[in-house]
Amino acid sequence: MAPPDVQARVAALRREIERHNHAYYVLDRPTVPDAEYDRLFRELQVLEAEYPELVTPDSPTRRVGGRPLDEFPKVRHAVPMLSIRTETDTEASGAQAFDARVRKELGLAAGDPPVEYAAELKFDGLAINLRYEHGVLVAAATRGDGETGEDVTQNMRTVHAVPLRLKTAHSPVVLEVRGEVFMRRDDFERYNAKQREAGRPTLVNPRNGAAGSIRQLDPAVAAQRPLSFFAYGLGEVQGWRDAPATHSATLDALVELGVPVSTERRVCRGAQALIAFHDDIAARRDQLPFDIDGVVYKVNRFTLQHELGFVTREPRWAVAHKFPAQEELTVVEAIEVQVGRTGALTPVARLAPVFVGGVTVTNATLHNQDEIDRKDVRVGDTVIVRRAGDVIPEVVAVVADRRPQPAPPRFDILQSYPVCPECGSHVVRLEGEAAVRCTGGLYCPAQRKQALLHFAGRRAMDIEGLGDKLVDQLVDRGLVHTPADVYDLDLETLAGLERMAEKSATNLLAAIVASKATTLARFIFALGIRNVGETTAKDLARHFGSLDKLIAASETDLLAVRDVGPIVAQSIAQFFGEPHNLAVVGKLRAAGVHWPESAGTQQSAGVLAGKTLVLTGTLPTLTRDAAKEKIEAAGGKVAGSVSKKTDYVVAGAETGSKLAKAQELGVAILDEAGLLALLEKD
């Protein structure tokens, strides 16, 4: 039996964690740093593992997903989940027609007062019924055929926006909350970007992403997907004291219970108010953070809803007023590429003009070669194009049975673009990467701003004052083409730029001059070689000792450097194999950029040679950078996360989850004194 103080602590942790969850996932206002949240969550996990009898279905730890299912059990809805009638007239007349039907059914004359409606958004996701008993989430089900749905309780528990317990001391005996699971556009784009980077399949669109996440059998997969939820109505209700009399008041009450409800809703009186709501949302549709395909009007008072009733299983008191479609068919007329700030060549489909989502679309992204191959997009194909909000239009799928015959050839970026269309440098695709890239990082116009910002960064050449806005001016005015041109700038030129007084220009010029004296490691890092971070740059400088030796190194030579694998070696060799890059390096040296050089060392013989360390928390006297430099000087490597391969974790004050992970794995833990004692042996 758990001691009373442990029971109290577990209850307090659950309340605090769910409060933070609600602030982060529902209100979009985080209340604590991630490290503090992780510490609370880890503490709760440890206590529940030690006292299993304290585990409850509404614990935040249950959100991580359970065991995979063989199939979804069927659930019969206590109150049918019926669909509502769709008004396909996207003009104002659609709202007028609905209001006219309602007034006719209610027997209202022209002079009678206007009908009060609740107007809200029609979300583009998956309809869900959440069943709470005595305030605790006990079941979740899809709509299915309206009478019977699928039990997706395990998956819905992973959606952080869904409360596992209602915020009230007087919960209804039964309260079924109905709403929509959806995926925000920014979450969708971030998720797909990570998937592409890892070489894994992407989601087709936010709606399919949300529906597919909930309707798949492994809750662990659902837990990894960034899903959101909004409530819009009720199912079965038992024992709700002072239940609201209107739909709008019901949604307000759900908010008080901790259930997320969209703020984009309004009480409207009469057809003109409905039209104003429809027009307002239509004008702001692209600015919403999620996809909608229309708005919904509902007669607000429940007594009038009951009076109106249903027809062919559709309520007479509600209608979905649609917006223009955001997916349409068109033809791919050509496939070209655009070179991005990082040198990635993104394929773009040039389309026969098509009106979709309120605008005429002529271009759509194809993302990368893997996406082209997966969707098998070819010039001449009829394709489905999707546009949602401010997201760049994309080709969703090919209509295979409309492909011209004989079939057009497959498109291959490397064959069509062996050199960069912006600068003529060689184009490559590294093993394990989805993107095809230009190798002219220091020379390519498309990469110019990104290359300059990286070059001037604090950990690179450390040119203080050379930030985004100034780089934009220098590049846009044609004053700087490569990093070497920075050293040709004079006081008169800099002082003539916007927001640059003579004092600011003098300070920047001094920083540029000071940056000429640097280290080899900083210079290598400043070049912005793909896959070469700060630590790898230090390893390369230590190993070769001089830039000329590094430039002359073969891929085999590079593989002898600590932690340099085939992909990094290939990146370095291709960078220095590009004549344009070598020309810029030569100009930098001619401008006076210099560093101490050495004979180099084939391997580090320090006391920490071959050891991996992780830093966590705040050390008493050493900064994070100082500790890292000491470790690397002794031959060690500093990693960002704890794993079985970690040799030591150096822990200071206010540690996060890394310390708990180290204890769990049995990794040796040092404080600052222990680290310094170890380094003294070097």
Residues with catalytic function: 122
Instruction: Kindly list the distances between the CA atom of residue 82 and the CA atoms of 85, 175, 231, 300, 314, in Å, as whole numbers in the listed order.
Output: 10, 18, 15, 18, 7
Q: Other C-beta atoms within 10 Å of 582: how many?
A: 15
- Bond prior to 113 in cis (omega within 30° of 0): no
Instruction: Kindly list the distances between the CA atom of residue 614 and the CA atoms of 443, 541, 650, 664, in Å, as whole numbers in the listed order.
Output: 37, 22, 6, 15
What does residue 249 show for φ and ψ, rounded to 5 degrees? -70, -30
DSSP state of 492: H
CB 356 within 8 A of CB 327: yes
**CA–CA dist 50, 478 (Å, integer):** 66
**CA–CA dist 211, 201 (Å, integer):** 16
Place of tokens 């490290």: 35
Enter the tokens of residue 272. 């003109």
What does residue 241 show for φ and ψ, rounded to 5 degrees? -70, 140
**CA–CA dist 327, 323 (Å, integer):** 12
Q: How many CA atoms lie within 13 A of 619 on its CB side?
A: 21
Place of tokens 């070049």: 527
Radius of gyration of the chain (CA): 31
**CA–CA dist 318, 614 (Å, integer):** 58
**CA–CA dist 464, 457 (Å, integer):** 8
CB 483 within 8 A of CB 474: no
Place of tokens 């709008």: 248
CB 377 within 8 A of CB 396: no
3-state helix, strand, coil in the chain (%, to 5): 40, 20, 40
Instruction: Kindly list the distances between the CA atom of residue 98 and the CA atoms of 75, 173, 224, 231, 242, in Å, as whole numbers in the listed order.
Output: 33, 36, 41, 23, 31
What does residue 444 show for φ and ψ, rounded to 5 degrees? -65, 125
**CA–CA dist 364, 347 (Å, integer):** 9
Give the amino acid at 120: E
**CA–CA dist 378, 96 (Å, integer):** 45
**CA–CA dist 650, 672 (Å, integer):** 7
**CA–CA dist 585, 581 (Å, integer):** 6
**CA–CA dist 69, 219 (Å, integer):** 8
C-alpha torsion sign, points 112, 116, 122, 126 = negative
Work out whether strand 637-639 and strand 612-616 pair parallel, antiparallel, or are unpaired: parallel
Enter the tokens of residue 629. 């430099």
Enter the tokens of residue 399. 């209509």
Long-range contacts of 188-194 (CB under 8 A, 24+ apart): 188/226, 189/391, 190/226, 191/225, 191/226
